[in-house]
Homo-oligomer: A and B are copies of this chain.
């Protein structure tokens, strides 16, 4: 039996928005995800949103939470939410996350952040696929996390 959730979300405007069919799936033939993410998304949609990797910056471009990983997570996901909302979308439209972090020591903090915030953000309890990668550095030294998002409308 697959753990499968299907839901529909309304797109941007009435005339151009067929309803996307987003199924987030954890096949039983794969291991249970070890965190707040799922194994895959199957999506049938007429429109896609490609959001540039978001960092912990405010509207003026200043770093938020320079040495505070959790504060950076809050800001990064606030920025992604702003991008989604600007397209009339929300968290349920996300089909893929790719998360880049600078310090592996922050992995437990990232798990904790998602455990605390994702149930509120993804109210159906179904989390998009995520790929978690530790890299050398982001565009500026103070940045600890960057998240790239694809969504469907």
Task: Tell me how far the C-beta of A103 lies from the nearest C-beta in chain B, rounded to whole angstroms.
Answer: 9
Per-residue interface assignment for chain A, residues 39 to 57, with 1 indicating a CB less than 8 Å from any chain B CB and 0 otherwise: 1111110111111111001
Partner of A131, one of B129, B136, B146: B146
Q: Is B87 within 8 A of A42, CB to CB?
A: yes
Q: Is A51 within 8 A of B40, CB to CB?
A: yes
- Contact sample, A vs B, 5 pairs, CB 8 Å cutoff: A31-B59, A42-B47, A44-B46, A53-B132, A100-B131
Q: Chain A interface (Cβ within 8 Å of chain B)?
A: 2, 12, 16, 25, 27-34, 37-44, 46-54, 57-61, 79, 82-83, 85-87, 95-96, 98, 100, 104, 107, 129-139, 141, 146, 148, 150, 153
